[in-house]
Amino acid sequence: MKRREFLKGVATATAAGGIIASGNPDSTAAAATAKTTATTTTTPAVLKTYAAEDHRRRLENIRLCRRGIRKCLREHLITSYLPGQCLYHLGEYPARKPWDIDDWHERELDKLRDHGIGLIQLEEEWSDPLRLFGGHKFTPVNPAAFHRFVDMVHKRGMKVIAYVSGGYFDRRDPDFREEWAKSNPTLVELWHQYAKCSPASTGWRAYLLPHVVRILDEYGVDGIYNDMGYIQPPNISAQPKGDQVLAFEETKTHDGALEDLLALCYAEVNRRGGIVKVHRGGLKCPNTALKVYDYLWVGEGVGDSDRLRGATMNHPP
């Protein structure tokens, strides 16, 4: 079967009431509350609320796929994926005054919830990386308003994750130390003058990791979006730069120090039942053997979708 014909068939079946992946909130048992109940539940709907007819539709869709697909690269059981996710900008940054939260945001969150959005992803302007309003890269521009926004999201049954970076840090910040990013290039773009701090830097780890934990504790967010800003450190047998400790093998197919740093963050967020998104850049993913993310962002600056599909089809899910 040709791919276009197969996709049309799946779309027709889905429109008739089925869905391929489990976790669909619009089951018979839940239909009456679909507009007021969030799509993010601890237990997937396929385990908790599916009636016999829901299971029938799911299995019939799986049967359709298995009969129509002659071969596939790999197979995954999808139970916890959140299909409804939204990038949300709290306000402009840099700006002359801090952003605030008002009734407009209440209405927007209502719309997002009603459209099936289960996860709100906050971009970098939630924080104050230029220290314009008395904060810093790991604190909100407006702490009271940020607490209110997180509460608003949670009251609607949705989750919210906040931008952090495991590598990017402004060279002009008074806390920055040159040894964190010795010899690494600087990202100069818009208002950024971001060093790419090394995952092998002991000082950078000591600075970054407590801030990640504090963001989770103090603001009650449900996880992080890690915009990595990554430069691979030298191999274990090489000469360290700055305050690096070269404890891992670093090759074209393995990011040793990065794996350790990301795994520490992932374990802590995962322990709390949270979500981790990771973005390395372009078509790339972290080369790790350990599970270090729930969602991987790829495609930045890529203009060819077929090239994107081909380059990422072997990335871990």
Element (H, E) at 109: helix 103-114
pLDDT of residue 31: 35
Contact 92, 125 (CB under 8 A): yes
pLDDT of residue 7: 47
Contact 101, 149 (CB under 8 A): yes
Q: Which two tokens stand for residue 141?
A: 């521009």
**Per-residue model confidence as pLDDT tens digits over 119-156:** 999 999 999 999 999 999 999 999 999 999 999 999 99
* Counts for the chain of helices (H) and strands (E), in that order: 8, 11
pLDDT of residue 5: 53
The alpha carbon torsion through 37, 42, 44, 47 (nearest 10 deg) reads: -110
Backbone angles phi and psi of 150, in degrees to 5: -60, -40
Low-confidence stretches of the chain (pLDDT < 70) are 1-42
Contact 205, 300 (CB under 8 A): no
**Per-residue model confidence as pLDDT tens digits over 102-116:** 999 999 999 999 999
pTM of the model: 0.82
Q: Give the integer Cα–Cα distance in Å for 55 and 90.
A: 40
Element (H, E) at 141: none
Q: Give the integer Cα–Cα distance in Å for 297 and 281.
A: 8
Backbone angles phi and psi of 234, in degrees to 5: -65, 165
Q: Give the integer Cα–Cα distance in Å for 181 and 162.
A: 24
The three-point CA angle 207-213-216 to 5° equals 140
